Amino acid sequence: MNNPAPAQIPEAVASPFRRFTRDEWAKLRADTQLTLNIEDLRKLESMHDPISLEEVIAIYLPLSRLLALYVAATQGLFKATQRFLGADDGKVPYIIGIAGSVAVGKSTTARVLQALLTRWPNTPKVQLVTTDGFLRPNAVLNREGLMERKGFPESYDGTALIRFLSDVKAGKHNVVAPVYSHLVYDVVPGETITVDRPDILIVEGLNVLLPNRLSREDKMIPFVSDFFDFSVFLHADEALLEKWYVARFMRLRETAFRDPRSYFHKYADLGDDAAQAIARAIWTRINLVNLQENILPTRPRASLLLTKGASHRIEEVALRKL
């Protein structure tokens, strides 16, 4: 007698994510009020990543509402645990990671979320740090032959980054992080940002969702994502990302690249065709490889997936099931 074939589990049930169209997600805003105006938004967006008030209302207000609920629940659990232990360790920051490719719009997302979350009553202090500051200085990357691998996992000072996050999560006061300049394309010597026990810390970077790696002694090495309470992955098709990267390069050629201090000043006077060819070559040789090898494989590890369409609008939201 033949055994019956096992029942097929519907894909929607088997997936660890609950998926929403743009309109479905927008309805989850409920009665959350918009606390940003158009002037605020202009200060927050990147020149290559336009964002509208409608986008904030449809996507980021529901997300800020969800995060406010998550943070409040985590704060309540922490206080209950402290009472149980009879301890008084002070508050522990809620850490949000934001990952995704070059040119996908991580910086704008991070700044908008910071502005919105700061306005919730239980999270008045929200700080933002990018992992760019933990890139090894150009002098080191040049010496070790890693300039063509800048942005890849091996180009970061992982030990310093883990130490920073560990100190923040331990509730320490005045934890400092290095600062990166996109103008000079390097870490700025002696310049730091201080993180002092915020309610929320947002950590934005290309590879922040990479999993743990085994050491030679088969011991787990802590990595950035171990410290996250929630994570967001911004996604778009590779063809769109290349288009946005080239467009950003062309705009920078007319602006920041013209500053003599700019690392890319040598490209300022190129003709359109030559500049586009160089931008595409950089994208293909470096950024696309990093995306395919290191960034994209971490997408399933995120708590929330935001997928962008051709106009930079987020068209689908996927939230990990609890």
Residue-wise pLDDT tens digits, 19-68: 999 999 999 998 888 888 778 877 787 656 778 889 999 999 999 999 99
pLDDT of res. 217: 57
- The residue whose two tokens read 């494989």 is 297
Q: Quick check: 229 and 95 in contact, CB under 8 A?
A: yes
Could you tell me if residue 159 is inside a domain? yes
pLDDT digits (tens, 9 = 90+) for 61-101: 999 999 999 999 998 998 898 889 988 777 789 999 999 99
CATH number, domain at 173? 3.40.50.300
Parent domain of 213? 17-320
pLDDT of res. 60: 95
Q: How many angstroms from the chain centroid is the CA of residue 271? A: 33
Q: In what order do the strands lie in the sheet with 314-320?
A: 17-21, 314-320, 304-308, 230-235, 94-100, 200-204, 126-130
Could you tell me if residue 3 is inside a domain? no
Q: Quick check: 92 and 223 in contact, CB under 8 A?
A: no
Could you tell me if residue 292 is inside a domain? yes
Could you tell me if residue 1 is inside a domain? no
Low-confidence ranges of the chain (pLDDT < 50): 1, 9, 214
C-alpha to C-alpha distance for 203 and 128, rounded to whole angstroms: 6
C-alpha to C-alpha distance for 70 and 92, rounded to whole angstroms: 14
C-alpha to C-alpha distance for 152 and 163, rounded to whole angstroms: 19
pLDDT of res. 179: 97
Output the CA torsion sign for 251, 253, 254, 259.
positive
AA identity, residue 314? I
Could you tell me if residue 246 is inside a domain? yes
For the chain, give percent helix, strand, coil, nearest 5: 45, 20, 35
In angstroms, the Cα distances linking 133 to 70, 141, 174, 188, 303 are: 28, 14, 17, 8, 24
Could you tell me if residue 79 is inside a domain? yes
C-alpha to C-alpha distance for 271 and 262, rounded to whole angstroms: 18
pLDDT of res. 168: 96
Could you tell me which residues are beta bridge partners of residue 54?
A: none
> What is the total count of domains within the chain?
1
AA identity, residue 30? A
Q: Which residues are within 8 A (CB) of 81 and not within 5 positions of it... i.e. 6 or more apart?
A: none
Could you tell me if residue 65 is inside a domain? yes
pLDDT of res. 47: 58
AA identity, residue 197? R
